[in-house]
């Protein structure tokens, strides 16, 4: 395999690989940070990276995704690396799988979805995958007939409850979230100090079901994606106390869709953008993945992009019947920010016209969630 000598790269130019099959717990990440802090980075091998097509100076991380997370926590911005070029698909998979065995754990759904053709035993990896049926794998499955687990309406967000009525996560985890909820100033890429989202915690795949915040789920853990295309009052409390969202068990959210219309004063629009991005940066620090919401008034689209780093690639917008041009404009914004012709974006609702447009552009379309009361109303 063709590669460079060991060179020093800025971590700002390193992008987590979208097919990284490893994930890391908070405890393991803390241990990795301690190791780097005590022994220096050279105790760990150089990262393996390859150039991102059509983005000069940017590199996908083949080996070292967890170390980049640790370096970000330690505020270290340079790293030794080897740059691989002209890799075949087989060579790339070999580096990704062989190298990522020291820290973290295997992301089984990712292995199922992206590496099903690889003979793990042949390359020396002892990985036993469970026998998922298609509906068991949230990365490849789609609900049959639009079915979703039974849900009921209520006006205040309620964390999922276990069989005995207790929250599903440990007191230790809740204590960690509270400790992280301090008066922090996060790094910013703009003049208004709107926090910059982490590249490490952007979703690659859409976790189903996609559920509106405020719909009570009857699970021990809500392993899904929450969106906030609901009345603002339903999620206002999260800006004061986001712990209930963290304890819900969901893996990812679409950013809160704070109401900003054409006549909103600029100062208020900046404030709404600041607080939703501050909340989302905090949630990312706690391990949650964030879809950037593009559904704002055209007058404030550039304000809404503040704090979204160049190369970020996880977007959502709400489709509206009769307003397809708005969805198309948001699609162009996603392409501009990500630097890709086919960014990772899904559209929530909008009806048949929007659904057909999404299909033509190879985008994920999610039908708008309807509770039983609204289903009854729509039939009358």
- H or E stretch at 47: strand 47-51
- Give the whole-angstrom CA distance, residue 134 versus residue 325: 35
For the chain, domains (ranges, CATH) are: 2-135 (3.90.1530.10), 143-379 (no CATH)
pLDDT of residue 184: 73
Confidence of residue 116 (pLDDT cuts 50, 70, 90): low
- The 10s digit of each residue's pLDDT in 341-355 is 999 999 999 999 999
| 311: CB partners within 8 A, 6+ apart | 15, 52, 55, 58, 199, 337, 338, 339
DSSP structure class, residue 237: G
Alpha-carbon distances, residue 351 vs 319, 334, 344, 365 (angstroms): 8, 21, 21, 10
Residue 80: the pLDDT is: 87
Give the pLDDT mean for 46-68.
86
CA distances from 345 to 109, 198, 291 (A): 20, 17, 8
Dist. CA 358–CA 350, nearest whole Å = 10
**pLDDT above 90 as % of the chain:** 36
pLDDT at 367: 94
Provide CB contacts within 8 A for 39, sequence distance 6+: none
């Amino acid at each position: 395999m063709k590669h460079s000598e060991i060179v020093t790269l800025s971590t700002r130019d390193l992008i987590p690989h979208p097919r990284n099959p490893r994930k890391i717990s908070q405890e393991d990440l803390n241990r990795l940070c301690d190791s780097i802090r005590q022994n220096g980075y050279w105790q760990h091998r150089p990262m393996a990276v390859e150039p991102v097509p059509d983005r000069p100076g940017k590199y996908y991380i083949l080996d070292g995704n967890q170390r980049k997370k640790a370096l970000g926590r330690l505020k270290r911005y340079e790293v030794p690396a080897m740059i691989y070029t002209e890799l075949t698909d087989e060579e790339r998979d070999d580096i990704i799988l062989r190298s990522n065995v020291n820290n973290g754990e295997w992301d089984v759904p990712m292995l199922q979805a992206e590496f099903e053709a690889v003979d793990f035993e042949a390359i020396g990896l002892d990985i036993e995958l469970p026998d998922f049926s298609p509906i068991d794998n949230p990365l490849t499955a789609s609900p049959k007939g639009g079915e979703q687990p039974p849900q009921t309406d209520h006006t205040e967000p309620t964390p999922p409850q276990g069989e005995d009525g207790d929250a599903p996560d440990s007191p230790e985890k809740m204590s960690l979230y509270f400790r992280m909820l301090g008066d922090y100033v996060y790094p910013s890429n703009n003049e208004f100090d709107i926090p910059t989202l982490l590249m490490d915690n952007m979703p690659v795949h859409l976790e189903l079901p996609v559920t509106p915040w405020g719909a009570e789920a009857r699970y021990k853990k809500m392993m899904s994606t929450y969106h906030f295309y609901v009345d603002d009052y339903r999620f206002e409390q999260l800006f004061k106390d986001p712990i209930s969202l963290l304890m819900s068990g969901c893996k990812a959210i679409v950013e809160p869709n704070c109401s900003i219309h054409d006549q909103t004063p600029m100062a208020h629009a900046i404030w709404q953008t600041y607080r939703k991005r501050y909340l989302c940066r905090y949630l990312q620090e706690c391990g949650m993945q964030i879809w950037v919401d593009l559904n704002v008034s055209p007058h404030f689209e550039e304000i809404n992009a503040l704090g979204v780093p160049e190369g970020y690639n996880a977007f959502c917008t709400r489709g509206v019947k009769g307003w397809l041009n708005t969805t198309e404009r948001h699609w162009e914004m996603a392409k501009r920010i990500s630097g890709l012709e086919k960014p990772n974006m899904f559209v929530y609702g909008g009806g048949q016209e929007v659904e057909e447009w999404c299909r033509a552009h190879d985008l994920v379309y999610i039908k708008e969630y309807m509770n039983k009361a609204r289903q009854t109303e729509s039939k009358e």
